[in-house]
Amino acid sequence: MDSQQREYFQEIISIQEKFTKESEQYWQLYSNLGTWQFWVILLMLLVPLIILYFVIDREKIFLIGFFGFAVHVLFFYTDAIGIRYGLWGYPYQMVPFLPSFSIDASIVPISIMLVYQWTLKHNKNFFVYLLITSLVFGFAFKPLLTSLGLFESYKWINFFLIFLIYVVLFLLAYLITKIFVVMHKRHND
């Protein structure tokens, strides 16, 4: 790394440190344990986890869990990109350095995991229920979060586009899961 590159890189690191400090200060002022928003977000994390503990199919726990983890990772990265590019934001957070943690780690993955489990158990077409779940998240859940001030979209982002993002990411998670299932079966055969 030459000196000019090193200096530029150090400047970026400095900006990131400043951003982190500002995010922590913002959290302390507006999103701390004394706000109702904090407790709503905490419930959005804990309630789905508790429900999942009691209703997950223990015989298919690894398949359903893998699918849920794929959803979590895809949504986490997508949210991070959307936030970094200023396409959307979460004005209230449970922790200042993970702005969409409750949604990406709990509500979204667990909801679609339970849909996936239900379609497996009842031999239903997952794609139909994937679309229904995406409709609910895109046109009911995100607008609800927006009305509560827990989510804001910017620039050209709208609820239809959010719905499409849900569809694509759920499909990708399903595809990733299927690929791993096929690889596992081939290994065992």
Give the model's pLDDT for residue 12. Answer: 93
Determine the 3-state secondary structure of 22 from DSSP.
helix
The span from the CA of 155 to the CA of 145, in Å, is: 18
The Cβ of residue 98 has, within 10 Å, a number of other Cβ atoms equal to 15
Give the model's pLDDT for residue 95. Answer: 85
- Longest pairwise C-alpha distance within the chain: 62
Could you tell me the residue ranges of all domains in the chain?
1-30, 32-188
Q: Splitting the chain (189 residues) into consecutive groups of 10 residues, what average pLDDT does each group show?
A: 92 93 92 92 93 96 96 94 93 82 86 97 97 97 94 94 97 97 88
Give the model's pLDDT for residue 186. Answer: 87
The Cβ of residue 175 has, within 10 Å, a number of other Cβ atoms equal to 11
Determine the 3-state secondary structure of 32 from DSSP.
coil
The Cβ of residue 136 has, within 10 Å, a number of other Cβ atoms equal to 15
